[in-house]
A and B are shown apart, each in its own frame.
Chain A
Amino acid sequence: MLERLLGLDYRRRRLHAKCTEGPLQDYLATPFPPTRSDCRETTFIALDLETSGLDPQHDTIISFGWVAMRGLAIDLSTARHRVIRQQCAIPESSAVIHQITDDQAATGYELHDILSEFLPILAGHVLIAHNAQIELGFLDTACRRLLGGRFIAPTVDTCYLARRWYDRRNRHFRSGDLRLANVRTRYNLPQYRAHDALSDALSCAELFAAQLAEHGVNGRLPLKAFLLPA
């Protein structure tokens, strides 16, 4: 509780001190952007993880998709999709959703290598995800197992922002209303057919761009107003 009051960047320094040498320690060595900075001057990394289930302790990451958003512009040259090599077969139900077969997963990357690629890209920037607890939970578990430390990141959760939108207007919503595709519809964003990790990461970045635009792009857009409370 005390740590929460002390702020995210203080926690970053504490975790950095306790962390094993390696990519995670390098990541934690980079200061987080100040929460008072403007979103236009901030770089965001939208991330989506496809996983075999919802429990980071028992389920595994199947693929990563990410894309960077510099200020209000999503830079597609940064878009990446990485399928992780699996030890055991992917449950059929999640293979259907993610359109990834065992064959693809057997030829994928090592999770360690992808963490080593991803963490330097995220360093000093802000994570965006829809329902970010999943991404944060799986990344934390992976970091503890493979990189000897805890993972934290300043995070924009587009699902949280969507829920807040209803709460602030005192409007009733059903859980389905918070699903990525349904929130996008409210902003006149196109429906994508594909549901791989990269397509969802891009969908999420576009949704955040729309949520920022809703706040009016002429006034200030303080990062603090959009971050998930620590």
Chain B
Amino acid sequence: MEVELQEIRDFLSHVVPFDQLNDDALNRLPSTLVVRYLRRGTPFPPADQSDHALYIVRRGAVELRDVEDKLVEKLAEGDLYSGLCLSDDPQGALHGTLVEDSLFYLLPCDTLQQWRSNHPVLEAHFSRTLQHRLRRALERQQAGENHANLLTVAVGHLLTRSPVTASPDCSIRDAARQMTAERVSALLLVEEGRLAGIVTDRDLRSRCIADGVSPEQPVSTIMSRHLHKVSRETPAFEALLTMTRLHIHHLPVVDSSGVAGLITTSDLIRQQSAHTVYLVDTVRKAANLAALVKAHRRLPELQVQLCAAGASAQQIGHAVTAVADALTRRLIELAEEELGPAPVAWAWLAGGSQARREQTVHSDQDNALLLADDYDATAHAGWFKRLAESVCSGLAACGYYDCPGGIMASNPQWRQPWQAWRHLFDGWITQPDGHAVAQAVNFLDLRVIHGDERLFSSLQHEVLQQIRASQRFLTALSETALENRPPLGFFRNFVLIGEGDHANTLDLKRRGLLPVVNLARVHVLSAGLPVIGTIERIHAAVDAGLISREGAEALEDAFNFIGTLRARHQASQIKRGEAPDNFVPPEELSAPERGHLKDAFSAIATLQAALGRHHA
């Protein structure tokens, strides 16, 4: 191969799936290609290209449309068109138009076939169905240990902030001021990018104040030199052993670019204690709201560590929800201690992601109160009002922001006796207009957090029977489920939503997770099944013969992949000190991640289309 085709080689090294080829193969690839230039407005693939080929967009853009002329895909730099080479490729059914003057690299189909037989990574990419690709992506995403502990976590994953540093020339007083302002117990002293020493709280006490050194002296006079350092890759347990052996509490972490951070014994101890169990236990024992708020501040850390340990979205959801459940129960207990025993039987119901056990650190509160029918408004309303307000404001204080739709027990509308709830559901089910369905959706995922389980299960049983028999309500619910469509894919650094519609960020919740949640809900409700979690619902729908096993597996993998991506996105936001959210800018996604997301969207769209046909 001519080394001068380096430019093309370098470009291909970023194109999926050629990015997985070894160097030798990648060097040989460019000379197998043909270059074509096509002008804006030209039909695609071009009719004058006699040899069928795989098209790699080097520059420019192509729109691909289906038989109804609906936009399906928009290709740009680095995207592939394989419709002519793969017999079962859905792209083959599309026709396209150049929307920019474009340059393509063509890999003739017969050459592609040879490369596929010689390179398993290419064969895997081009032969696997969408389902297989998604399953593999998920496996790779979750490669790693499923338990966050000191044995498996590297020091680098525990660094929660950038290092606090100063020059060794600054005065002891300034160093102490900076440590106070930054709320750290140690300050790293850096000279020309290199670590020169460290000064700790203890040094200020024993080497400055006790020795009568003037605080105007440079901090270098009291700093410790010749430090023991660790790298980001050092296992956390090794770092802990080192600190114990040397009787120190701080270890600088360095990497190729210099000082990466500081790890402390309390970081390591917290790492152990931040396990879900410990956090749940701390919440359970909290004496008052202040203690709860304090304990709850560790929740973001829990998500960061679970992500670092390779936990799946489902595992993270269960862990984070366990904390929310414990918190809700403890808030109820604290309120009851103050208010005395409840006047009638009742149940605290969690809705939304808490009910489904799919919470992340960025979750709102959805809850409601179900009261026994011997409830007497004049005599009992005050007790339940105070209870609800106390618990809801407690949750808010811990960071569960108020539900935008006001679905909270503190709202008297959602604090009702059994018969009143039954009546509400009956109204929504028999008169399923847009508002009624939207309202009902809020109460179709409910779980008892505290109180009388049987009070709720009898209500749930009746409601499920009624929904199952009401085709009108199910049709209306399906329509709502199809309102939120996943995006078509990506176009350069935009999310391609539809015709002429681009977004700068991908809303993983609204565009990825909620469509699956809604689909799964409709299916189990049509069979009257009392299942709440989305994955459990998908399984139940397969068992009930409502969706195909293949479709269900793809949907489950899509849900897990998007959910895990969201949890990690939030974890990196937490690490950067930003507030976690559901919005991922496409430039943050790697090329393979974009590919897998596109597969995930397509799996969701396929099942949405099936639901649409069923209820049409």
Q: Tell me whether A188 and B60 are in contact in the complex, defined as CB-CB below 8 angstroms, given that A40-B48, A210-B101 are known contacts.
A: yes
A199 within 8 Å of B (CB atoms):
yes
Interface centre among B2, B3, B42 (most CB of A within 10 A): B2
Q: Which of B109-144 contact A (CB under 8 A)?
A: none
Residues of chain B within 8 A (CB-CB) of A205 are: 35
Interface size on B, residues (CB 8 A): 29
| Sample of 10 more A-B contacts, CB < 8 Å, known A79-B31, A194-B4 | A74-B34, A74-B35, A81-B4, A188-B101, A190-B103, A197-B4, A206-B35, A206-B103, A210-B37, A210-B101
Contact between B4 and A187, CB atoms less than 8 A apart: no
Residues of chain B within 8 A (CB-CB) of A194 are: 4, 6-7
Residues of chain A within 8 A (CB-CB) of B30 are: 76
Contact between A79 and B5, CB atoms less than 8 A apart: yes
A73 within 8 Å of B (CB atoms):
yes
Output the nearest chain A residue to B36 by Cβ-Cβ distance.
A73
Q: Tell me whether A188 and B102 are in contact in the complex, defined as CB-CB below 8 angstroms, given that A199-B4, A213-B39, A217-B42 are known contacts.
A: yes
B286 within 8 Å of A (CB atoms):
no
Tell me the bound Cα distance from A212 to B184 in angstroms: 67
Nearest 5 pairs of A and B residues by beta carbon: A74-B35, A209-B37, A188-B101, A198-B4, A213-B39
Contact between A198 and B5, CB atoms less than 8 A apart: yes
Tell me the bound Cα distance from A64 to B568 in angstroms: 51
Residues of chain A within 8 A (CB-CB) of B42 are: 213, 217
Give the number of residue pairs across the A-B interface with Cβ within 8 Å: 79
Output the nearest chain A residue to B29 by Cβ-Cβ distance.
A76
Q: Tell me whether A213 and B37 are in contact in the complex, defined as CB-CB below 8 angstroms, given that A188-B60, A189-B103, A194-B4 are known contacts.
A: yes
CB distance from A68 to the nearest CB of B (A): 10
Residues of chain B within 8 A (CB-CB) of A168 are: none
Tell me the bound Cα distance from A189 to B60 in angstroms: 9
How big is the A interface, by class? 20 to 34
Residues of chain B within 8 A (CB-CB) of A217 are: 39, 42, 46, 48
Contact between A73 and B106, CB atoms less than 8 A apart: yes
Q: Which of B1-32 contact A (CB under 8 A)?
A: 2-8, 30-32
Q: Which of A193-227 contact B (CB under 8 A)?
A: 193-194, 196-199, 202, 205-206, 209-210, 213-214, 217
Tell me the bound Cα distance from A17 to B404 in angstroms: 91
Tell me the bound Cα distance from A187 to B59 in angstroms: 11
Contact between A188 and B100, CB atoms less than 8 A apart: yes
Query: Footprint of B on A, CB under 8 Å?
Result: 40, 65, 72-77, 79-81, 187-190, 192-194, 196-199, 202, 205-206, 209-210, 213-214, 217
CB distance from B125 to the nearest CB of A (A): 22
Tell me the bound Cα distance from A197 to B5 in angstroms: 11
Output the nearest chain B residue to A203 by Cβ-Cβ distance.
B7
Q: Which of B88-103 contact A (CB under 8 A)?
A: 100-103
Tell me the bound Cα distance from A75 to B51 in angstroms: 13
Query: Footprint of A on B, CB under 8 Å?
Result: 2-8, 30-39, 42, 46, 48-49, 58-60, 100-103, 106
Residues of chain B within 8 A (CB-CB) of A202 are: 35
Contact between B35 and A76, CB atoms less than 8 A apart: yes
Residues of chain A within 8 A (CB-CB) of B5 are: 76, 79, 198
Tell me the bound Cα distance from A217 to B33 in angstroms: 21
Contact between B31 and A76, CB atoms less than 8 A apart: yes
Tell me the bound Cα distance from A205 to B36 in angstroms: 10
Contact between A73 and B35, CB atoms less than 8 A apart: yes
Tell me the bound Cα distance from A189 to B48 in angstroms: 21
Interface centre among A40, A77, A80, A214 (most CB of B within 10 A): A77
Tell me the bound Cα distance from A205 to B39 in angstroms: 15
Contact between A76 and B103, CB atoms less than 8 A apart: no
Contact between B31 and A192, CB atoms less than 8 A apart: no
Q: Tell me whether A209 and B36 are in contact in the complex, defined as CB-CB below 8 angstroms, given that A187-B101, A188-B100 are known contacts.
A: yes
Interface centre among A73, A196, A197, A214 (most CB of B within 10 A): A73
CB distance from B108 to the nearest CB of A (A): 10
Residues of chain A within 8 A (CB-CB) of B32 are: 76-77
Tell me the bound Cα distance from A213 to B100 in angstroms: 13
CB distance from A121 to the nearest CB of B (A): 15
10 contacts between A and B (CB under 8 A): A73-B34, A76-B32, A76-B34, A79-B4, A79-B31, A80-B2, A189-B37, A194-B6, A206-B37, A217-B48
Contact between A75 and B34, CB atoms less than 8 A apart: yes
Residues of chain B within 8 A (CB-CB) of A79 are: 2, 4-5, 31
Residues of chain A within 8 A (CB-CB) of B59 are: 188-190
Tell me the bound Cα distance from A51 to B153 in angstroms: 58
Contact between B49 and A73, CB atoms less than 8 A apart: yes
